[in-house]
Amino acid sequence: DTGVSQNPRHKITKRGQNVTFRCDPISEHNRLYWYRQTLGQGPEFLTYFQNEAQLEKSRLLSDRFSAERPKGSFSTLEIQRTEQGDSAMYLCASSLVLSRQEKLFFGSGTQLSVL
């Protein structure tokens, strides 16, 4: 197991286009998180899944954003009609929740640039 994997590493798109990112968590991890990080800031929570159920969404997650985790394995984050303000690093993290002993393992992120 090589950890959390995210694809692509970089994505450049034109404003108004749709983009989709993929995250493959550590196998057997039951929770999967999406975070967004802009330059000079810490990661900001977007949403998380417990198995295949999306249990929490941030107010940051506008209706242009949608995330899925079919079958409780990999997850996708789609941004529709991208805007320049969507430019950021999108981070995925997974965790195994056992007796509240939770810690997040992060992927290397997908850097999105909206032109």
- 27-56 binders of other proteins (CB under 8 A): 31, 33, 40-45, 48, 55-56
* Binding span for other proteins by CB under 8 A among 19-27, 66-74, 80-88, 95-103: 95-103
Complex with other proteins: residue 20 or 58, whichever CB lies closer: 58
Q: Does 68 bind other proteins (CB under 8 A)?
A: no
Q: Does 109 bind other proteins (CB under 8 A)?
A: yes
Q: Does 105 bind other proteins (CB under 8 A)?
A: yes
Backbone phi, psi, residue 56, to 5°: -155, 140
Bridge partners, 21 (sequence order):
77
> C-alpha 110: how far from its chain's center?
9
The two counts, helices (H) then strands (E), for the chain are 0, 11
Complex with other proteins: residue 15 or 55, whichever CB lies closer: 55
How far apart are the C-alpha atoms of 57 and 34, rounded to whole Å? 10
How far apart are the C-alpha atoms of 97 and 6, rounded to whole Å? 21
Residues in contact with other proteins by CB under 8 A are 31, 33, 40-45, 48, 55-56, 58, 89, 91, 93, 100, 102-109, 111
